[in-house]
Amino acid sequence: MRSDITEELKSVTAESNIRTCEDMGGHTTFRAGGCADLFVTPQSITEAADIVRLLLARNIDYTVIGNGSNLLVSDKGYRGCIICIGSAFGNITVRDNIITAGAGALLSKVAKAAYENGLTGLEFASGIPGTVGGAVVMNAGAYGGEMKDVITSVTMLDTTSGETVIFTGDDMKFGYRTSVVKNHPFIVLEAQILLEAGSRVDIKDKMDELTRRRKEKQPIEYPSAGSTFKRPEGYFAGKLIEDAGLKGFSVGGAAVSEKHCGFVINAGGATASDIIELIKKVRFTVNEKFGVMLEPEVVILGEDIDK
């Protein structure tokens, strides 16, 4: 990547917000992966818009991330710019039964704010390690709840025009682990979440119960990206993987969790190549045995999983 792009970015955001050859293992919950040529953390909507405009003008690929909880970067690295929507977009405000949360706010913190204000409906998100932005893009969900159930509007940056747009929940076209953002040039900036008044005791009890279930059934003691595969229609990915005899199967430091086969984990010192190769082997084996091609839920940058 041309070195002059770094100098140009300095005219848009502070030098401290720009990094080169950034190790992405420190920015993903897999704790593995190669380096990104550029890593930029905009501090405002204006900066985000200007950064994207500059990258597009220089024909440089970019990817927007939050907490990296659903991301893996190839060991080969990413020949582009990572735009991290972080704490500068982490505002959380509560008014009546509506929570307004910035894209960089952690879902766990938003769920905690809901509890503290006696609002129910977001308990399912209390253990999801991502940010609001990533959760909106992927329509994150767990234990019967999804973001589409509580989102009333989303404010986004339209990177083609540089303007902010506001979509209703219906406009977002939420589906299973998808939304309108997946196929359009939008960057999520903020979301409005509509909840209901509830008992703080009941809300806390439900959150505690979900935490207990996660600890009991999910390998949260290991780095991972959560559920590695989307749920295939009519099946459960974890059961297919277990029935294929892959429980505990490993490649290098990556392994299929013995606690929950739907999770590929970094069991210790795994490289991105280990994880990717394991994902490929799992997909091949399940397809060969059951005729079901599992689709990864985790986003992989720098390598085509189908090759």
Kindly report the pTM of this predicted structure. Answer: 0.94
> How many other C-beta atoms can be found within 10 angstroms of the C-beta atom of residue 118?
17
Average of per-residue pLDDT across 303-307: 81
**Does residue 36 have a pLDDT over 80?**
yes
Question: What does the pLDDT read at residue 3?
Answer: 64
Q: Percent of the chain at pLDDT above 70?
A: 99
Residue count (the chain): 307
**Does residue 307 have a pLDDT over 80?**
no
Is 161 among the residues known to form the active site? no
Which H, E and C letters describe 53-68, residue by residue?
HHHHHCCCCEEEECCC
Question: What does the pLDDT read at residue 1?
Answer: 56
Which architecture, in CATH terms, is 218-301? Answer: Alpha-Beta Complex (3.90)
CA–CA gap between residue 72 and residue 275 (Å, rounded): 9
pLDDT class of 303 with cuts at 50, 70, 90: confident
Catalytic residue (one of 47, 123, 297, 303): 297
**Does residue 187 have a pLDDT over 80?**
yes
Domain ranges of the chain: 4-84, 89-216, 218-301
- Whether the Cβ atoms of residue 197 and residue 113 lie closer than 8 Å to each other: no
Is 295 among the residues known to form the active site? no
pLDDT class of 132 with cuts at 50, 70, 90: very high
pLDDT tens digits, 238-280: 999 999 999 999 999 999 999 999 999 999 999 999 999 999 9
The listed CATH number (3.30.360.10, 3.30.465.10, 3.40.50.620, 3.40.50.720) that belongs to domain 89-216 = 3.30.465.10
Catalytic residue (one of 69, 126, 227, 257): 227
Is 297 among the residues known to form the active site? yes
Fold of 4-84: 3.30.43
Q: What is the mean pLDDT of the chain?
A: 96
Catalytic residue (one of 69, 126, 177, 303): 177
pLDDT class of 306 with cuts at 50, 70, 90: confident
**Does residue 57 have a pLDDT over 80?**
yes
CA–CA gap between residue 23 and residue 27 (Å, rounded): 8
